[in-house]
Amino acid sequence: MILGDRAGLHNIITGSSSGKSRLLMLITINLFTARQLTCYRR
């Protein structure tokens, strides 16, 4: 999911500047969930 979101984020960055706000939100959510997954795995 994270890889797919990143691919979409690149399109948003190059596509429109208005999507940067959503981009930041998705990045923060992905980082937060990623940390939780690593914690659960350990």
The tens digit of pLDDT for each residue in 1-42 reads 455 566 666 665 566 666 677 778 888 888 888 888 777 766
| pLDDT score of 26 | 84
Please tell me whether the overall predicted TM-score, pTM, comes out greater than 0.75 for this model: no
DSSP assignment of 1-42, as one string? Answer: -HHHHHHHHHHHHHH-GGGHHHHHHHHHHHHHHHHHHHHHH-
| pLDDT score of 1 | 46
Residue type, 28: T
Sequence ranges of the domains in the chain: 4-41
Sign of the Cα pseudo-torsion (25, 29, 32, 34, in order)? negative
In Å, how far from its chain's centre is CA 5? Answer: 6
| pLDDT score of 15 | 62
